[in-house]
Amino acid sequence: MNEPIIDSATTKAASTESPSTLATAVYERLRRDILGGVLRPGQKLQVEFVRDRYRVGNSPVREALSRLSSDGLVERREQRGFYVAPISADDLRELIKTRCWVEAIALRESIAARTSEWEEGLVLALHRLSRVPRSLNSESYATNPEWERLHRAFHIALIRNCGSRWLLAFCEGMIDQAYRHRQLAVAKIYPERNEAGEHRAIVQAAIEGDADAAVRELEAHYQRTAKIILECMDSAAPPQTLPRRGRAARKQPARLRGA
């Protein structure tokens, strides 16, 4: 996972483009690798490591890392350098809660200002997503990049009509963070879940102008996803070491343990 990756676009840019353009190219590659789980939470991002991985100089690397730090995808630790931002169950719960709050506002505003153009774009986004399989393998889960791309486009289409580029940009950042959590979870196929039906229910309510129903369906959709990710995180967590007092307690007679 840590071997240098030769990126032809970045390598070509390194010989022809300005430092700012190079920094943008490195930023995009790093961002994609962090969101996709290639670079793991807590992994140290030494300048030399990033420089060799993407075949660029130190200055573009430092600028890219600083930008990612502003995005919340990289942590800059005093006297220790840059690290991939960690994730946790509490982090996910906070993300989902905030996403439900903020996207509820954006969705309500989009519905209040709905136009035929927005509705057509929403139906088209749903149609495109429905034609692509969630997993590349029908028996075991394998990420389908095209589904992920169309899924992101669908959720942006829902709130695109909110009338605030600041609100939209904030929501897009949370969409990316949610994607990262999903990619890092131990994923599997859940045949009992009907994601396509959930998406249709949101769109149907939005087109009918029922903001309360649309928000309710959207929040339920996010909560179902969060529940699955949390279950995956729990199953992947290492077993807890039993405290010394607990081990000793097991050796005591039952009457001493309050039985």
SS (H, E, C) 87-113: CCHHHHHHHHHHHHHHHHHHHHHHHHC
Q: What is the DSSP letter of 163?
A: S
Nearest CA among 193, 187, 181 for reference residue 140? 187
Looking at residue 247, what is its pLDDT?
Answer: 42
Give tens-digit pLDDT for 101-130: 999 999 999 999 999 999 999 999 999 999
Beta bridge partner(s), residue 84? 74
- The residue that leads in pLDDT, 186 or 220, is 220
Could you tell me how far CA 162 lies from the centroid of its own chain? 22
Give tens-digit pLDDT for 156-187: 999 999 999 999 999 999 999 999 998 887 56
Where does the pLDDT of residue 206 fall: very low under 50, low under 70, confident under 90, or very high at 90 and above? very high
The CATH T-level fold of domain 89-236 is Four Helix Bundle (Hemerythrin (Met), subunit A) (1.20.120)
Where does CATH 1.20.120.530 sit in the chain?
A: 89-236
Where does CATH 1.10.10.10 sit in the chain?
A: 8-84
Output the pTM of the full model. 0.76
Provide CB contacts within 8 A for 22, sequence distance 6+: 10, 13, 14, 56, 57, 60
Q: Is the separation of the CB atoms in 245 and 257 below 8 Å?
A: no
The region of weakest confidence among 163-172, 186-195, 198-207, 223-232 is: 186-195
Looking at residue 191, what is its pLDDT?
Answer: 66
- Asked if pLDDT for residue 255 goes beyond 70, the answer is no
Give tens-digit pLDDT for 60-79: 999 999 999 988 899 999 87
The CATH T-level fold of domain 8-84 is Arc Repressor Mutant, subunit A (1.10.10)
CA–CA distance, 236 with 257 (Å, rounded to integer): 31
Give tens-digit pLDDT for 10-39: 444 444 455 578 889 999 999 999 998 899
- Asked if pLDDT for residue 243 goes beyond 60, the answer is no
Host H or E run for residue 76? strand 74-77
